[in-house]
Amino acid sequence: MPEPNARYLPNFLADADAAFAELLRATPWRQDKIRIMGREIAQPRLTAWYGEAGATYTYSGLTLAPLPFTPLLARIRDAAEAIAGSGFNSVLLNHYRDGADGVSWHSDDEPELGPDPVIASVSLGATRRFDLRRRGDHGRRASFDLQHGSLLLMGRGCQIGWQHRIAKTRAPVGPRINLTFRQICGAGDQRRASRSCKA
């Protein structure tokens, strides 16, 4: 059984400290309610959604209209694109305030992401463990400790065959910001369109 198509670069962002401080201060963070297994709950983290015109994103009963890219987010996106070899027209920011914040097992497989999306995940702040498990065989797992300034690239096949999470922890841990760059198919500048939007 193949391993997940995931590539980890620990020293991706040179000015990680400044980027973390700016995003923590300037982002209009919100805590939306989502629907999980028929129940409406507050997300255990804060979020913000940025993207090009028309890059609307829906997950767990929540629909997000994008804020325009800031210069900082656009610069980080361009650097992630150069490594990924794919275009990204949107980014979901997650603010994990402490160990009580997390995200449960899931795949980024919403229809607007196309049949086989490429996701670039940039981590800032405290290190958190990122787990992957194989669909249909949950004993098959992989983990990464996502460090400050790192990039985790989830390539083709990763969202189809694997799920991922950031588990909650009782261990003392500081705040973390995660930027997950993705391509909303049919939105924004189509010159950036990723191969993942093609069937």
Secondary structure class of 24 (helix, strand, coil): helix
Interatomic CA distance for residues 69 and 51, integer angstroms: 6
What residue ranges of the chain have pLDDT lower than 70?
1-2, 37, 189-195, 199
Q: Looking at the domain assignment, is residue 14 inside a domain?
A: yes
According to the model, what pLDDT value does residue 54 have? 92
Name the domain count of the chain. 1
According to the model, what pLDDT value does residue 35 have? 73
| Cβ contacts of 85 within 8 Å, gap of 6 or more | none
Query: Whole-model pTM?
Result: 0.91
Q: Which CATH number belongs to the domain containing residue 58 in this structure? A: 2.60.120.590
According to the model, what pLDDT value does residue 1 have? 46
Q: Looking at the domain assignment, is residue 106 inside a domain?
A: yes
15 CA to centre of own chain: 20
According to the model, what pLDDT value does residue 2 have? 64
According to the model, what pLDDT value does residue 195 have? 66
Domain enclosing residue 95, as ranges:
6-197
According to the model, what pLDDT value does residue 3 have? 86
Q: Looking at the domain assignment, is residue 1 inside a domain?
A: no
Q: Looking at the domain assignment, is residue 98 inside a domain?
A: yes
Q: Looking at the domain assignment, is residue 129 inside a domain?
A: yes
